[in-house]
Amino acid sequence: MLLVIDIGNTNVKMGVFKDKTLVASWRFSSSRTRTSDEYWLYLVSHLKENGVNKSDITDVIIGSVVPNLNYTFSHLCEYSFGIKPVMLDHNMAGGLKTKYSDPRRLGADRIAVTLAAVRDYGAPLIVIDYGTATTFNVVNKDGEFIGGAIFTGIKTALDNLIKGTAQLPNIELSLPGGVIGTDTVGNMQSGFTYGFIGMTEYMVARIKEEEDIACAKVIATGGLAEVIASGTKIFDCIDRQLSLKGLFCAFSSKNLTSGRKGNKGQV
């Protein structure tokens, strides 16, 4: 079995693939202060809960946008599984062509979601990831990743607003019944949900126009994708597992193997 680990700024997502099937997945909050032993407790409990034995894990791949956590998880894998994990980077794009000016600066999260989206939905496409940052990832008619846009994440923007104001409350992000809110909570919900919906619709329209890809599918992923999707019909699909599936794509396409002695790298 292949263990995939997606280390983000807000959450760590993990999944286990048997052959080509994602048989289990879970997430927990990222913390730069937790030790590898603490993360191991989270991991082993979820493995047991999903009927996966430690000995079932034969390979590990990690995609990370938090360099400070790379050693923590590498140490976890080597000490607890006896496996040196593979780290996803731009050299493991699984056949995805790129026109990004400096591929070395392309985040592992964007590589992973784009890889999986191209495999599952074809090109051209626009993948929008609503995470700590909101990223627009564009693949042209020739199947080439050409770039996109990066904006603040919904929850990130909300947290910054609350920290910077004295009287605005912490709220649950959900789509209100209308754009005009009648109380403070409704005003904030309207601003953040409809505001991001409007931004999304405008950006998608401009991307399609600039690249002449009116037929491009629009795929949403990330923790708050459903909230945005509840107020627009712009998405062709919501796929919350894109990053995990992308890590599998990168690993399997390169026929990679992890560092455990005698491991043949079968997934």
Catalytic residue among 6, 37, 56, 109: 109
Question: Looking at the DSSP assignment, which residues form a beta bridge with residue 219?
Answer: 127, 237
Integer-rounded Cα radius of gyration of the chain: 19
Helix axes 154-164, 184-211, angle to 10 degrees: 140
Q: What angle do CA 112, 235, 173 make, to 5 degrees?
A: 85
Number of helices and strands in the chain (H, E): 7, 11
Question: Is 142 labeled as catalytic in the residue annotation?
Answer: no
Q: Give every CB contact of residue 150 below 8 A, 6+ residues apart in sequence.
A: 133, 134, 135, 136
User: Running DSSP on this structure, what letter comes out for residue 183?
Assistant: S
Crossing angle of helices 242-253 and 108-121, in 10° steps, is 90
Cα-based angle 181, 184, 188 (whole degrees, multiple of 5): 70
Structure tokens at 153: 């994440």
Q: Which residues contact 182 (CB under 8 A, 6 or more apart)?
A: none
- Tokens representing 134 are 């909101």
Nearest to 55 by CA among 14, 3, 20, 5: 3
Q: Region of 94 please: left (phi>0), alpha (psi -120 to 50) or beta.
A: left
Write out the catalytic residue numbers: 109
